């Protein structure tokens, strides 16, 4: 796909999301990254419950959003060899099971949550843990006790420990594995961002006084689903006085002449890759006010200043120390982070605004990381605010901006 900006509009040619992508290479790279982390942390295997981690390791999905809150699908990835996928407990899922070289076997999951088995949960959970023990022994051998796990409830943790497992916090391993993207992953991300561009252009074209926030937000959803995308993680779109403070979700409010409209795509597009881009539009034909243009200019300045710092070898703490100083009147409502990782969804690292924060992350930007640079400018008690965000690839020599959708010319 090729993209270009013509007269302030994004245009795409030859859009085919599945054209020419080496999915075998993508899957092999991601699976190897997981197994490298297991070996580096002396773990026999990792038990993945988070559908995002399962997608990363095996490139398989099944009712992803539903299973985010109804645990009934999991995957066991050994440090060497193929994985066992435990799919949703309905026999149809065996017949529909995906075929990838990373999966050695597909079985039906044992779901022990209260929704599935109610008062039988304790007994079924012990059966589940025994099945995991038997599967680890079959994959790795008897005596393999260090098992990483990305998430589990209290019953599951107790049952696995009763089976003799030493549990290792697995989300850290997966976040580190996911943080550096392959060439194929970057291509997936570019295609997801192209769909986001189509959606944002639909929004820009549709924006007019009298449209509700929900109606405008639906344009992005339409483009995403129509082009093979998957879901949108939030509903962060607001207009006029609802743009301050940030984090207000789209509503039935009618957008008025002269309103700012701010939004964050948070869009999981084709191949499951996230397009996390924020823009602020102006609704109407009159010239935006001086106050609106000032807010917009500051948000653009913050993103551009911080983006320009990004390069391989730069430490996270050094980045924060050198970052754009947020004016005091906006500090109480700043976004909360100045940058974060992005891949299948938002990822490690999450880099806060305060260099003196004792929980500020250590680490270094390396080539292949994809980073979102954030800004929200709106003061306490202010009438409006501006959200801005760019998605960036760390390269061998610096960085590349991946999010191509143009800025709002009338606000610049």
Query: Are the CB atoms for 102 and 128 separated by under 8 Å?
Result: no
Residue 154's contacts (CB-CB under 8 Å, 6 or more residues apart) are none
Cα distances (angstroms) measured from residue 160 to each of 49, 108, 126, 205, 307:
14, 19, 8, 54, 44
Pull the structure tokens for residue 105.
Answer: 């076997």
Query: What CATH number does residue 30 fall under?
Result: 3.40.350.10
Query: What CATH number does residue 406 fall under?
Result: 3.90.230.10
For residue 108, being part of any structural domain is answered with yes
Tell me which of 337 and 4 has the higher pLDDT.
337
Shared-domain flag, residues 129 and 199: no
* Confidence band for 16, pLDDT divided at 50, 70 and 90: low
Give residue 307's pLDDT: 98
Give residue 17's pLDDT: 59
pLDDT tens digit string along 348-370? 999 999 988 999 999 999 999 99
Shared-domain flag, residues 306 and 342: yes
Q: Is residue 4 classed exposed, middle or buried when 0-12, 13-18 and 19+ CB atoms within 10 A define those classes?
A: exposed
For residue 126, being part of any structural domain is answered with yes
Mean pLDDT of 142-166: 95
Pull the structure tokens for residue 391.
Answer: 């998605």
Torsion of CA 158, 159, 160, 163, to 10 degrees: 120
| Host domain of residue 121 | 23-178
Tokens 């320009």 found at: 308
CA proximity to 321, closest of 344, 346, 338: 338
Shared-domain flag, residues 258 and 389: yes
Shared-domain flag, residues 349 and 224: yes
Shared-domain flag, residues 266 and 207: yes
The end-to-end CA distance of the chain, in Å, is 29
For residue 41, being part of any structural domain is answered with yes
For residue 337, being part of any structural domain is answered with yes
DSSP 31-71: HHHHHHHHHHTT-SEEEE-SHHHHHHHH---SSHHHHHHS-
Residues counted in the chain: 412
Return the CA Rg of the chain: 23
Q: How many domains does the chain contain in total?
A: 2
Query: Are the CB atoms for 123 and 106 separated by under 8 Å?
Result: no
For residue 247, being part of any structural domain is answered with yes
The upper half-sphere exposure of residue 327, i.e. CA atoms within 13 Å in the direction of its Cβ, equals: 14
Query: Are the CB atoms for 224 and 199 separated by under 8 Å?
Result: yes
DSSP 323-354: SPPPPHHHHTT--SEEEEEESSSEEEEEEES-
Shared-domain flag, residues 201 and 338: yes
Pull the structure tokens for residue 152.
Answer: 């589990």
For residue 328, being part of any structural domain is answered with yes
Please identify, among 178, 206, 232, the residue that sits at the C-terminal boundary of a domain: 178
Shared-domain flag, residues 215 and 338: yes
Give residue 99's pLDDT: 81
Q: Tell me how far apart the alpha carbons of residues 375 and 370 are, in angstroms, rounded to a whole number.
A: 17
Shared-domain flag, residues 400 and 382: yes
For residue 245, being part of any structural domain is answered with yes
Least confident piece of the model among 15-29, 75-89, 186-200, 209-223: 15-29
pLDDT tens digit string along 87-116? 999 999 988 877 899 999 999 999 999 999
Instruction: Indicate the helix (H) or strand (E) that contains 232.
Output: strand 231-232
Shared-domain flag, residues 153 and 94: yes
Cα dihedral sign for 38, 83, 18, 345? negative
Q: What is the pTM of this model?
A: 0.95
Tokens 């979102």 found at: 372
Give residue 20's pLDDT: 83
Q: Strands, DSSP E only, in 45-179?
A: 45-48, 74-78, 83-87, 103-108, 146-149, 166-169
Give residue 143's pLDDT: 82
Shared-domain flag, residues 63 and 87: yes
- Per-residue pLDDT at 15 exceeds 70: no
* Confidence band for 245, pLDDT divided at 50, 70 and 90: very high
- Per-residue pLDDT at 1 exceeds 60: no
Q: What is the DSSP letter of 227?
A: T
Shared-domain flag, residues 188 and 88: no
Shared-domain flag, residues 151 and 228: no
Cα distances (angstroms) measured from residue 322 to each of 297, 310, 314, 317:
20, 11, 11, 9
* Confidence band for 144, pLDDT divided at 50, 70 and 90: confident
Query: Are the CB atoms for 83 and 73 separated by under 8 Å?
Result: no
Q: Provide the mean pLDDT of the chain.
A: 95
For residue 121, being part of any structural domain is answered with yes
pLDDT tens digit string along 252-284? 999 999 999 999 999 999 999 999 999 999 999
Q: Tell me how far apart the alpha carbons of residues 103 and 58 are, in angstroms, rounded to a whole number.
A: 7
């Amino acid at each position: 796909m090729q993209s270009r900006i013509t007269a302030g509009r994004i245009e795409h040619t030859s859009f085919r999301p599945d054209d020419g992508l080496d999915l075998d290479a993508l899957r092999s790279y991601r699976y190897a990254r997981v197994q490298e982390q297991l070996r580096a942390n002396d773990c026999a295997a990792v038990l993945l419950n988070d559908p995002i981690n399962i997608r990363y390791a095996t490139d398989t999905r099944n009712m992803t959003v539903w299973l985010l809150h109804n645990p009934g699908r999991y995957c066991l990835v050994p440090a060497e060899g193929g994985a066992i996928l435990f799919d949703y407990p309905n026999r149809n899922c065996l017949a529909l099971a995906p075929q990838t070289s990373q999966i050695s076997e597909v079985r039906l999951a044992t779901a022990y949550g209260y929704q599935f088995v109610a008062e039988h949960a304790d007994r079924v959970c012990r059966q589940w843990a025994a099945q995991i023990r038997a599967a680890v022994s079959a994959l790795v051998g008897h005596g393999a006790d260090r098992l990483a796990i990305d998430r589990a409830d209290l019953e599951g943790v107790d049952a696995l420990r009763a089976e003799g497992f030493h549990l290792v916090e697995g989300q850290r391993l997966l976040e580190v594995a996911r943080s550096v993207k392959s060439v194929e992953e970057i291509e997936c991300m570019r295609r997801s961002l192209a769909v986001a561009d189509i959606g944002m252009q639909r929004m820009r074209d549709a924006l007019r006084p009298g449209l509700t926030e929900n109606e405008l937000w639906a344009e992005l959803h339409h483009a995403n689903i129509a082009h093979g995308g998957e879901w949108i993680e939030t509903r962060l779109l607001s207009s006029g006085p609802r743009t301050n403070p940030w984090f207000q979700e789209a509503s039935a409010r009618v957008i008025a002449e002269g309103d700012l409209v701010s939004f964050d795509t948070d869009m999981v597009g084709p191949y499951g890759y996230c397009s996390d881009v924020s823009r602020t539009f102006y609704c109407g034909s009159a010239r935006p006010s001086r106050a609106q243009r000032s807010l917009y200019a500051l948000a653009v300045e913050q993103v551009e200043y911080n983006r320009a710092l990004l390069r391989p070898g730069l430490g996270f703490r050094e980045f924060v120390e050198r970052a754009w100083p947020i004016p005091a009147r906006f500090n109480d409502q700043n976004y909360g982070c100045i940058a974060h990782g992005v891949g299948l969804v938002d990822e490690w690292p999450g880099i806060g605004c305060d260099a003196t924060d004792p929980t500020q992350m250590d680490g270094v930007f390396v080539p292949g990381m994809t980073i979102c640079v954030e800004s929200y400018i709106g003061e306490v008690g202010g009438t409006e605010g501006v959200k801005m965000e760019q998605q960036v690839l760390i390269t061998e020599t610096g960085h590349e901006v991946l999010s191509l959708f143009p800025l709002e010319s009338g606000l610049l």
